[in-house]
């Protein structure tokens, strides 16, 4: 039997395995079985905590519900950081990931702040298949009621396409999200945000996550949305982003780094026989 933690950040939920002292490895089929909400434990993302080496307190590996490894996950990073800070009595931890080093700190009142690193704005780094003005480019959707949409693209360790909409509640997330995710324009597939600017310090956002679908929250998506909004002159650099599961506070610093602050929760711990899923 293998121990796991069930954690979530604003309803964006995770099955977390602490593999710092084990040789636990998961293949894509096992990840899909764990993430299955009817036959497995159920989650948006499976997270592995591994030894961090000389430069980090731990390393984190993220797997989307479809079994594919993801570069970054903001909400999961906060959850792992809270677990490690509580375990060790620390106010700050450093986590290594495919997206780079993530510095996390206790922000008080149960909140955790993560420095998600520098937002990447160049089309090649997102990546996109051809040159584009990532501030505002036409997104072609043949056969759609809106055959061309104005989009922004940002990488927060993983790729995001941000669409600013008049009403986030009515946005066709389930219809357009999967189509945009798999466009040839985005060779690594892409997360899709539907964002409504409420005022210069508040955004309402809904999200289609790559390899998962609609989720209650996406930390890197909230970061990407604020960066895109600032680049278009729509908001200040510090913004509260209201997601289906709650609010994240995002700040895009002048040096390019993006800070994300929000809550974490660990509803339960358990054991699973991975080979029987």
Out of 79, 161, 218, 223, the active site residue is 218
Q: How many whole angstroms separate alpha carbon 250 and alpha carbon 258?
A: 7
Residue 38, both tokens: 């009817």
Out of 43, 73, 104, 223, the active site residue is 73
Q: How many whole angstroms separate alpha carbon 78 and alpha carbon 113?
A: 7
In 3-state terms, the chain is what percent helix, strand and coil (to 5)? Answer: 20, 45, 40
Q: Which helix (H) or strand (E) holds 242?
A: strand 238-243
Q: How many whole angstroms separate alpha carbon 13 and alpha carbon 6?
A: 7
Helices (H), the chain: 28-35, 74-88, 173-181, 219-231
Of residues 190, 191, 205, the one with CA closest to residue 235: 205
Asked about 104 being catalytic, the answer comes back as no
Q: How many whole angstroms separate alpha carbon 219 and alpha carbon 73?
A: 7
The answer to whether the beta carbons of residues 228 and 250 sit under 8 Å apart is: no
Asked about 218 being catalytic, the answer comes back as yes
Residue 203, both tokens: 């955004």
6, β-bridge pairs: 15, 268
- The b-or-e profile of 204-230 (16+ CB within 10 A means b, else e) is bbbbbbbbbbebbbbbbbbbbbbbbbb
Q: How many whole angstroms separate alpha carbon 8 and alpha carbon 78?
A: 9
So which residues are the catalytic ones?
Answer: 73, 218
């Amino acid at each position: 039997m293998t121990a796991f933690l069930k954690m979530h950040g604003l309803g964006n939920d995770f099955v977390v395995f602490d593999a710092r002292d084990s040789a636990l490895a998961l293949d894509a089929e096992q990840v899909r079985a764990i993430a299955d909400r009817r036959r497995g434990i159920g989650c948006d993302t499976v997270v592995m905590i591994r030894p961090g080496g000389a430069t980090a307190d731990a390393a984190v590996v993220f797997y989307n519900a479809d079994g594919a490894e993801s570069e970054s996950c903001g909400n999961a990073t906060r959850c792992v950081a809270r677990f490690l800070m509580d375990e060790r009595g620390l106010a700050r931890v450093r986590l290594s990931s495919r997206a780079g080093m993530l510095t996390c700190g206790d922000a008080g009142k149960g909140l955790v702040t993560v420095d998600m690193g520098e937002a990447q704005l160049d089309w090649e780094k997102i990546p996109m298949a051809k040159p584009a003005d990532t501030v505002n480019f036409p997104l072609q959707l043949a056969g759609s009621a809106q055959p061309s949409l104005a989009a922004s693209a940002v990488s927060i360790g993983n790729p995001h396409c941000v669409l600013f909409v008049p009403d986030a509640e009515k946005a066709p997330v389930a219809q357009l999200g999967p189509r945009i995710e798999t466009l040839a324009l985005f060779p690594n597939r892409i997360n899709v945000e539907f964002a409504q600017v409420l005022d210069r310090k508040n955004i309402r956002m809904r999200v289609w996550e790559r390899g998962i679908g609609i989720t209650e929250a996406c930390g890197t998506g909230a970061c990407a949305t604020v960066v895109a909004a600032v680049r278009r002159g729509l908001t200040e650099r510090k913004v509260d982003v209201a997601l289906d599961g709650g609010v994240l506070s995002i700040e895009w610093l002048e040096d390019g780094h993006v800070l994300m602050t929000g809550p974490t929760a660990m509803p339960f711990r358990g054991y699973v026989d991975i080979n029987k899923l």
